[in-house]
Amino acid sequence: MIDLKDVSKAYPNGVHALNHVNLHIDKGEFVYVIGATGSGKSTLIKVLNGEEVPDEGAVIVDGINVGALKHRKVPYYRRNVGCVFQDYRLLPKLTVFENIAFALEVVGMPRKQIRKRVMEVLELVDLKEKARSYPDELSGGQQQRVTIGRAIANKPKVLIADEPTGNLDPEKSLEIISLLEKINQKLDTTIMMVTHDKVLVDRFKKRTIMLDKGYVIHDSNKGGYKSL
Amino acid sequence: MMKGLRTFLYELKYAFLQMKRHIMLCFSAISAIGITLLLIGSILIIGLHVNYFSNDVQKDLSIHVILNEDIDDETAISSIQSEISKLKNVSKVEVSSKDDELELMIKEKGDAFKAYRGETNPLSNAFFVYVKNASSIRKTSVQIQKIDGVSSTAFGGDSVTSLVDMLNMIQKIGLGIVALLTLLSLYLIYNAIRTTIDSRSDEIIIMRTVGATNGFISNPFIVEGIFIGLIGSIIPYLLVHFGYEKLYESLDGKLFTPMFALFKPSTISFQVGLSIILAGALIGGFASLFAVRKYLKMKR
């Protein structure tokens, strides 16, 4: 599903964010990406969602060479890649329902279908009773679930979660990770989760990729920090 | 088709919402574009008339060129004719023979002159020279005067040309003012749109992440700009429509003399009115297009 072939990316200020990264992630896999600040995690996400173009190498997602996409094709590609962020990025003036519907409005889905799909998604993320609430009436964990709902509304093949538990207490973090696991298993969505959370990585063991200074220094199927 | 309509409705909805949020900014942009369009309208009205008058004047205005008495053979006449034709401002040279001249005189001054018909005709051969640009008819006349074999030249309507000149001048000054005001309204609309873009930057980032196309993101802003332009064109349109009607009535449909008939109010309302509305929409659309291009930065 995701293939990085000798990918390098440097920024104009001289920082080498990614150095000769080679990765292969299968369809339906759930992987963690860990590493210190400045290790290249954010750039990895950006080359995957098409925001940045690698200087060298190729990023192939679902058979599409992301770096070679024309600018006007990028939005269509992006509909296949859901994104979840640490800071939720919900629209405060829209209800939970409207926030999720927004992602579908943007791609021009008919109103009736939007209604149906949003209800399905709310069911999945277990927020049906909060459909009419506004984001500031929700807890952090609930807000993050809305974000996840928005990210999967378009049925993407890949879901990228950038520190989804970064602002949450351990209990709420468990909620999020089990939701992501559910999506991974039920919908067969390939998930890449960037995280700092040692507890989670050790408890829910999955393939773990560790970045440092733009290099992949560990890629272990055993999972957990201890294996590294 | 359905999808296009749905997208359009979405754009309309957001254009209105945005304008409501920045009502004062929109108001200043609308006033600026209103004043600009009113001036554009007035200048168009003047311009239409200047064009009309001067065409009319040019059609009728000719230089009557009388040749020396001794020039009587065809080759001499046609050589002078071709010499006059070469002058820059000359559009047409018509030969008016001795006999034609006499007939004109009889028509103008009375049957008494019929006695001169035939061999006793004392008049000279002549030309009627038509000019391209009425306002330099005097210069052309002097140039013709200098040609060998020309006895005298005459033309009428000096006051006509000076009126056309004056209107032309007003039009030029007006165009300058319009250019400046157009820039000002472009800038104000640009600013209004930029502010809405700023206030929606979070939304724009989210739109990008969920796969909205650049067109989808920027169209509501462009629709908003066009709206500002269209709303700004309402008052100038009404002023031109009713104002010109009043003017037409009070001047009795003519400027000073029946020679300068004014355009009918319905013509002005249609032509100038349509131009005002179109100009409003164009200025608004382009201003927001510039803003969108600059501030949305068509990145990936």
Note the pLDDT of residue B58: 62
Q: What is the rounded distance in angstroms from the CA atom of residue A148 to the CA atom of residue A127?
A: 11
Residues in chain A: 228
* A94, A106, A148, A152: best to mutate for the B interface, most B CBs within 10 A: A106
Return the CATH class of domain A27-54+69-80+156-228: alpha beta
- Within chain A, all domains assigned CATH 3.40.50.300 are found at 27-54+69-80+156-228
Q: Do B213 and B149 fall into the same domain?
A: no
Closest residue in B to A83 (Cα) is B209
| Cα torsion angle, B22, B23, B29, B30, sign | positive
B39 with B167, same domain?
yes
B66 and B168 assigned to the same domain: no
The partner residue sitting opposite B211, judged by closest CB among A69, A71, A79, is: A79
Nearest-angstrom CA–CA distance, B294 and B290:
6
Q: Which residue has the higher pLDDT, B17 or B241?
A: B241
How confident is the model at residue B15, as a pLDDT?
Answer: 73
List residues bridging with B254 in a β-sheet: B261
Q: How confident is the model at residue A218 (pLDDT cuts 50, 70, 90)?
A: confident
Mean pLDDT, residues A61-77 taken together: 90
pLDDT computed for residue A83 by the predictor: 92
Distance from C-alpha of B140 to C-alpha of B86, rounded to nearest angstrom: 11
Which comes out higher in pLDDT, residue B297 or B287? B287
Using one digit for the tens of pLDDT, what is the confidence trace for B101-145? 888 888 888 888 888 887 778 888 888 888 887 777 888 888 888
Judgement on whether residues B168 and B280 belong to the same structural domain of the protein: yes
Domain that holds residue B115: 62-156
Residue B159: per-residue pLDDT: 65
pLDDT at B60: 67
Q: Is B247 on the interface with A (CB under 8 A)?
A: no
Chain A residues inside the 8 Å CB shell of B213? 72, 75-76
Distance from CA of A21 to the nearest CA of B (A): 22
Confidence of residue B260 (pLDDT cuts 50, 70, 90): confident
CB contact under 8 A, A107 and B6: no
Q: How far apart are CA B16 and CA B21, in angstroms?
A: 9
Cα–Cα dist A133/A100, whole Å: 12
Give yes or no for B152 touching A (CB within 8 A): no
B18 with B106, same domain: the answer is no
Per the model's pLDDT, the better-predicted residue between A180 and B137 turns out to be A180
Q: Do A72 and B202 touch (CB under 8 A)?
A: no
Task: Provide mean pLDDT across the span B275-282.
Answer: 92
Residue A120 clears pLDDT 90, i.e. is over it: yes
Q: Are residues B117 and B242 in the same domain?
A: no
Q: Could you tell me the end-to-end alpha-carbon distance of chain A, in angstroms, rounded to an integer?
A: 24
Residue B158: its pLDDT value, please? Answer: 65
Please answer whether residues A30 and A184 qualify as being in contact, where contact means their C-beta atoms are separated by less than 8 angstroms: yes
Lowest mean pLDDT among A90-94, A137-141, B94-98, B168-172: B168-172
For residue B286, give how far its alpha carbon lies from the nearest alpha carbon of chain A (Å): 21
Of A51, A151, A153, the CB nearest to B300: A51
Q: Give the minimum alpha-carbon distance from A150 to chain B in angstroms, rounded to a whole number.
A: 8
Kindly report, residue by residue over B242-253, the tens digit of the pLDDT: 999 999 988 888
Long-range contacts at B14-17 (CB < 8 A, ≥ 24 apart): B14/B220, B14/B223, B14/B224, B15/B220, B15/B221, B15/B223, B15/B224, B15/B227, B16/B227
Record: contact B210-A103, CB cut-off 8 A:
yes
Q: Could you tell me if B37 and B78 lie in one domain?
A: no
Among the partner residues A51, A106, A153, nearest to B216 by beta-carbon distance? A106
Beta bridge partners of A212: A215
pLDDT value of residue B24: 77
Q: How confident is the model at residue A47 (pLDDT cuts 50, 70, 90)?
A: very high
- CA A100, CA A96: separation in Å to the nearest integer? 6
The average confidence (pLDDT) of chain B is 83
Q: Is the pLDDT of residue B282 over 60?
A: yes
Confidence (pTM)? 0.68
pLDDT of residue A64: 92
Report which residue type is found at A9: K
Residue B234 burial (CB < 10 Å; 0-12/13-18/19+)? middle
End-of-domain residue from the set B136, B156, B176: B156
- Pick from B210, B298, B299 the residue to mutate for testing the A interface (most A CBs within 10 Å): B210
Do B47 and B170 fall within a single domain? Answer: yes
**pLDDT exceeding 70 applies to what percent of chain B?**
92
Number of domains chain B contains: 2
* One domain for residues B175 and B244: yes
What mean pLDDT is predicted for residues A112-133? Answer: 94
Chain A residues with CB-CB distance to B209 below 8 A: 49, 78, 83, 89
CA dihedral for A109, A112, A116, A119, sign (positive or negative)? positive
B11 chain-A contacts, CB cut-off 8 A = none
Question: Mind listing the pLDDT tens digit for each residue in B16-42?
Answer: 777 777 777 778 888 888 988 998 888
Residue carrying structure tokens 């992630």: A25
Q: What is the mean pLDDT of chain A?
A: 90
pLDDT band at A226 (very low <50, low <70, confident <90, very high): low
ipTM > 0.85, yes or no = no
Arithmetic mean of pLDDT, B4-15: 75
**pLDDT value of position B280:** 92
Domain final residue, candidates B132, B156, B180: B156
Answer yes or no: do B166 and B216 share one domain.
Answer: yes
Average pLDDT over residues A55-80: 91
Q: Which of B131, B156, B181 is the last residue of a domain?
A: B156
- Both B8 and B34 in one domain: the answer is yes
